[in-house]
């Protein structure tokens, strides 16, 4: 899965752990899928979608360079961070503020906020050596991940100019991926030999793993508390999407795919992500209703 790996590597943080157990079947919910690709791109990943249905993500051009983009209807706008060698967008709020990260020539990622045509770097707290901005809510609160001088990754919340580090107790590494308008934050983290998901309400961390999944990556959360996930089985051979909705967990796969990853969700029962077809070829973006 070339672009899935490039997408993760561009952002700069990949947690790799030994995992055990297999994902089990979930209750039935109808998902209707549509392929969404950037015209002319080698591969496409859709990272986030706001209430108005505006999508952001990342595509790979014909030279293998990764770019951030915004999709409004059928119109694609490439958003290139100045002085970067590659970049990608991960989330967009209702006001059109976009977050993501850009790599420099040394391959170091730095988070950014793109709003009203202007980039603002999201460097992480003092001492951070790298950063990625993953999520932004309608109040402008930003979450993401930063690396410290020891090589450990930590989640963060940025409120104005103040950073708060986010690490569930016992976590080896943490990536905060999204924050909804109620201020609830989802994240995933290394815990022993597993990758687990957590929900942070500003005071306490709650484990929110997909039942029976070998590891759970919580990727996004909407206002109602619906959460979209990526899960991986014990052999890393099958990536599958999962959704927490109305108190239940559901798994989903793009039709005739070998891998499906959910990355974004909005308040109108719309999901976005990427998949790889059974016939092979590059990763492709998808939009789905549920």
Residue 249: which of 239, 260, 240, 257 has the closest Cα? 240
- The answer for residues whose C-beta is within 8 angstroms of residue 80's C-beta and 6 or more apart is 67, 68, 87
Q: What pLDDT is stored for residue 27 in this prediction?
A: 64
Q: What pLDDT is stored for residue 140 in this prediction?
A: 98
In sequence order, the β-bridge partners of residue 79 are 68
Q: Are strands 130-136 and 142-147 parallel, antiparallel or unpaired?
A: antiparallel
Residue 178: which of 215, 233, 147, 223 has the closest Cα? 223
Q: What pLDDT is stored for residue 85 in this prediction?
A: 97
Q: What pLDDT is stored for residue 236 in this prediction?
A: 66
Q: List per-residue pLDDT tens for the chain, 290 residues long.
A: 443 443 443 444 433 332 233 334 446 899 999 999 999 999 999 999 999 999 999 999 999 999 999 999 999 999 999 989 999 999 999 999 999 999 999 999 999 999 999 999 999 999 999 999 999 999 999 999 999 999 999 999 999 999 999 999 999 999 999 999 999 999 999 998 889 999 999 999 999 999 999 999 999 999 999 999 999 987 767 899 999 999 999 999 999 999 999 999 999 999 999 999 999 999 999 999 99
Q: Are strands 270-277 and 284-289 parallel, antiparallel or unpaired?
A: antiparallel
Greatest CA separation for the chain: 47
Q: Which two tokens stand for residue 142?
A: 């930003």
Instruction: Match domain 2-289 to its CATH number in 3.60.15.10, 1.10.645.10, 3.40.109.10, 2.120.10.30.
Output: 2.120.10.30
Q: Which two tokens stand for residue 197?
A: 């998901």
For residues 258 and 277, is the Cβ–Cβ distance under 8 A? yes
């Amino acid at each position: 899965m070339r672009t899935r790996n490039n997408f993760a590597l561009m952002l700069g943080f990949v947690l790799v752990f030994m995992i055990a157990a297999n994902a089990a079947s979930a209750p039935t919910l109808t998902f209707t899928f549509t392929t969404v690709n950037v015209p002319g791109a080698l591969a496409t990943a859709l990272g986030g979608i706001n209430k108005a249905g505006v999508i952001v993500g990342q595509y790979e051009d014909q030279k293998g360079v990764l770019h951030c983009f915004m999709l409004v209807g059928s119109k694609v706008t490439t958003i290139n961070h100045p002085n970067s060698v590659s970049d990608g967008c991960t989330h967009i709020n209702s006001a059109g503020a976009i977050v993501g990260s850009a790599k420099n020539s040394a391959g170091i990622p730095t988070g950014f906020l793109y709003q009203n045509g202007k980039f603002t770097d999201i460097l992480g707290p003092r001492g951070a050596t790298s950063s990625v901005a993953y999520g932004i809510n309608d109040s402008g609160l930003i979450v993401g991940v930063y690396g410290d001088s020891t090589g450990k990754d930590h989640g963060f919340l940025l409120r104005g100019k103040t950073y708060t580090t986010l690490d569930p107790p016992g976590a080896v590494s943490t990536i905060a991926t999204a924050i909804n308008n109620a201020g609830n934050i989802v994240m995933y983290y290394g815990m022993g030999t597993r990758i687990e998901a957590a929900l942070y309400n500003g005071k306490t961390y709650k484990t929110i793993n997909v039942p029976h999944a070998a590891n759970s990556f919580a990727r996004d959360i909407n206002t109602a508390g619906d959460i979209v996930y990526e899960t991986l089985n014990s052999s890393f051979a099958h990536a599958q999407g999962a959704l927490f909705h109305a108190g239940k967990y559901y798994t989903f796969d793009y039709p005739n795919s070998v891998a499906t990853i959910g990355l974004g969700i909005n308040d109108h029962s719309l999901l976005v992500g990427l998949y790889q077809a059974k016939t092979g070829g590059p990763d492709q973006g998808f939009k789905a209703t549920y």
